[in-house]
Amino acid sequence: MQVPASFEYERAHSVAETISLLARHGPEARVVAGGHSLLPMMKLRLAQPEVLIDINGIAELAYLRVEAGELRIGAMTRHADLLGSDLVARNFPILIDAERVIADPIVRNRGTVGGSLCQADPSEDLAAAFVATQATVVLVGAEGTRVVPVSEFHTGPYETVAGPAEILTEVRLPIRAGAGSAYEKVERRAGDWAVAAAGAAVWLQDGVATDVGIGLAAVGAEHFRATEAETALRGRPLDEAAIDEAAAIAGRNAHPSTDQRGPAEYKRHLVTELTARALRRAGARARAQEA
């Protein structure tokens, strides 16, 4: 039986109290929400925090709303709430696509959006989806508030720019006209981490991609982003030739590792195929919005 190392437990009831507790206990303290990523790592002793700060009592961080032209998602929003939201489905179907293939109902009922992003697992589906949609995150700490693009939030596997006394409170996605988005994933079995995954968001005007976002998961993409593939599409008609070119660039620039989920070349091929599929579906959804 796997048992975590000993730790102290604190329960926070507000953002301010959480930050105060983090500052008091120092860098060896960790925030826990759903716990589906952190607790298994603790059982394996891959993570050994000295203090766990439980933020499940912070109801003010669980919400979905539109404000200032953005979809705003509180960090304590559960995956199941995101999946079941008509507001999300209407504006960002990529998030519904991604949530449908995240784990299982038990995990989705408990796991949180903020926890998934802060865990910074290289195979995290929502990270790739948020990168594609050009989302930002709000970080609150003892020295104030800052807004960081999701494409700059992750600095490496299981590492983020969040400071030791700073927490993620909100994700913001800009709502813009002519948008369409989609997410594609290959997994060994339902609910598993991705072998490879790609998310795409496009903004069309008269059939031309005025802007593009492409996020990749599980394939070693820096900051979960296919920057060169985005550049190749931006300003061009979103036709098959342009999609195939961008998808090929995404595949060439991916850096997957050979592991139990498959060889690197197979994963690179998946990136090309999944990026093309995501772009086609995102384009179809954008055209439906224009019609």
Concatenating the DSSP letter of every residue in 85-150 gives -HHHHHH-HHHHHHHHTSS-HHHHHH-BHHHHHHHT-TT-HHHHHHHHTT-EEEEEETTEEEEEEH
Nearest to 216 by CA among 184, 248, 190: 184
Helix, strand, coil fractions of the chain, as percent rounded to 5: 40, 30, 30
SS3 call for 257: coil
SS3 call for 10: strand
Q: How far apart are CA 159 and CA 241, in angstroms?
A: 37
Q: Do residues 49 and 67 lie in contact, with contact meaning Cβ atoms separated by under 8 Å?
A: no
For the chain, residues with pLDDT lower than 50 are: none
Q: What is the pTM of this model?
A: 0.95
pLDDT (tens digit per residue) in 85-99: 999 999 999 999 999
pLDDT of residue 8: 93
pLDDT of residue 1: 57
Q: How far apart are CA 136 and CA 150, in angstroms?
A: 5
Instruction: Note the residue count of the chain.
Output: 291
**What does the block give as tokens for 209?**
């991609």
pLDDT (tens digit per residue) in 124-141: 999 999 999 999 999 999
Residue owning tokens 């790609």: 198
pLDDT of residue 51: 92
Q: How far apart are CA 186 and CA 145, in angstroms?
A: 37
Instruction: From residue 278, give the alpha-carbon distance in Å to each of 10, 89, 144, 177, 256.
Output: 43, 16, 38, 19, 19
pLDDT of residue 73: 98
Q: How far apart are CA 206 and CA 140, in angstroms?
A: 40
What φ, ψ does residue 3 adopt, rounded to 5°?
Answer: -130, 135
Instruction: From residue 55, give the alpha-carbon distance in Å to each of 13, 35, 83, 114.
Output: 7, 11, 22, 11
pLDDT of residue 111: 93
What φ, ψ does residue 211 adopt, rounded to 5°?
Answer: -155, 155
Q: How far apart are CA 146 and CA 163, in angstroms?
A: 11
Q: Hey, what domains does the chain have and what are their CATH numbers? A: 8-53 (3.30.43.10), 64-174 (3.30.465.10), 179-290 (3.30.390.50)
